[in-house]
Amino acid sequence: MIRYDLTGEVATVTLDRPEKRNALTLDGLAAFREVLDRGTEQARAVVLRGAGDAFCAGDDIASVAGLGGEVAPATLATRLYDALFGPERVEVPVVAAVDGPAYGGGFELVAAADLAVAAEGSTFALPEATVGAYPPYAVARVAETCGRKRLLELALTGEPVDAATAESWGLCNRVVAADELDDAVAELTEAACAAPAPAVALVKRYVHAAAADPDERARLIEGFFAVADEPDCLDAAERFLSGGE
């Protein structure tokens, strides 16, 4: 599910479940945070990628369905929080290389990354509300990046935006042709690695100062309990799993 490779000073974390468009399972969320921490210890920068034709389709709804059922809301909330907020908490630059859809949790990983390069044709969406859930990282951070009304459009409608729009909204640093993605990511990553590690860590610490707020985790996790037993939310998840029937 999560592949880790170390080449020189750069660790690459690949969401490797192409048959499910790299959708994140509960175990996958935990594994992601583990390899992210490993990259911090072993590398000067971490690159996030998706295998196949998608970056990440978000959470595997089937594996975490029924927030009041097999998966306890607290378990899901904790795993999501630790994974999605992980990139801003580690001390090395995290660069997202996006080629294909980045939806739900995938969108949030791109938003959480320090830098992001997208291939033309990539799309971005926050469909959680349409299936009776909510996007924890997005509601906490994305308004700072793209503006409140744009975040609300994304979060309330679930409709995707293209890579050019994502760049203009501040979600990506660059948009390039698909065959130029690797070179663009390497160029940006190498530049980020050139600065002394203590200076990079200090910049990240102050840019992401809100990450140190001890109450933030509790506030966001409360949201999962708020929707866990709502009939309308459970019905929306069931419709999604049944193909909209």
Give the active site residues. Answer: 108, 128
Q: What is the DSSP string of 55-100?
A: SB--B-HHHH--TTTTS-HHHHHHHHHHHHTHHHHSSS-EEEEE-S
CB 48 within 8 A of CB 94: yes
Q: How far apart are CA 9 and CA 44, in angstroms?
A: 5
C-alpha pair distances (Å), 233 with each of 38, 107, 111, 148, 155: 36, 21, 25, 23, 15
Q: How far apart are CA 11 and CA 188, in angstroms?
A: 14
CB 120 within 8 A of CB 98: no
